[in-house]
Amino acid sequence: MSVIKPPRLRPGARIGVISPAGPVEESELQAGLENLTLAGFEIRLASHVYARKEYLAGGDEGRLADLHAMFRDRQIDAIFCTRGGYGTLRLLQKVDYPMIRKNPKILMGYSDITALLLAVHKKTGLVTFHGPTVRDLASGGAEDLRRLLQPLQKNHPLRLTLGERSALIPGRAQGPLIGGNLTMLCHLLGTPFFPSLTGRILFLEDRGEPLYRIDRMITHLRLSGRVEGIAGIALGRFEECGEDTALHELFRERFLDLQVPVATGLPVGHGESNSILPLGLSAELDTERMTLTIASVTNEKKG
């Protein structure tokens, strides 16, 4: 399926806000919404954005209706998710993918939202965006937010600098970028929503998983056979997952036989910095320069 770049985020764009996963309180979003407004964007909240049904942001029907409504509404330029948590897996079989392909626009989130980002990209070809949720936008101010959102607003290459001395396996790789939360990626194995990894640069992040669980998930990926033929691997933050030294040794051990470059230090995931990455666009991983470079990520014109 051909890749579709969404229109770029222009000054004064209208951003639709949805809660496709866990519930969120109004107070948790206030600062993030204010920062988006101060940065020059209009905000439209989905009908069920503050709904709650135990650990979900309301029933599946309401969360799915909000997703569809935001894609159908031609006045909405981008869709940001309020938070992760759990819930997007429950929606995937009922998403109207043909409708989304006809109405391409920016869709952004991370953590549990990884499942939705990967499914939409797999079924429609639309480039989706791994990046902060609205709840994360509370820190900093409007100027910090403008810098964060530049990949969505400027039609030029994006270059991220990786951490120093973070090349576990040196080399250079090129290929479409794919990935996100390791746990969610593993949950998609064996479903029609798992993306092809052949020839791609895979990036991973996670939070709150002890070392043996990280090992188990990586081993699960390896046993599935879906990692064979991958071009390279870039590792983001693994917050509260144990000591970095042990994590890095685990990744090196489990991926060494693939004979592809593996680097840590990608500034994405749960933590203070969560850079925006486009799923599905060509990228270059270079462990000599310690960079991940991506071509321009959006279309110049709407439609």
Active site residues per annotation: 111, 205, 270
Using CA atoms, how far apart are residues 116 and 293, in angstroms rounded to an integer? 24
Q: Encode burial over 88-116: b for 16+ CB neighbours within 10 A, e otherwise.
A: bbbbbeebbeeebbebbbbbbbbbbbbbb
CB 211 within 8 A of CB 247: yes
Strands 167-169 and 158-161: unpaired
- Residue 44, both tokens: 């439209």
Q: How far is CA 247 from the centre of its chain?
A: 22
CA 265 to CA 287: how far, in whole Å? 11
Over the Cα atoms of the chain, what is R_g?
18
- CB count in 10 Å sphere of residue 213: 15
Sign of the CA dihedral 98, 229, 185, 276? negative
The helix (run of H) or strand (run of E) holding residue 282 is strand 282-286
Q: C-alpha angle with apex 131: 81 to 186, nearest 5 degrees?
A: 90
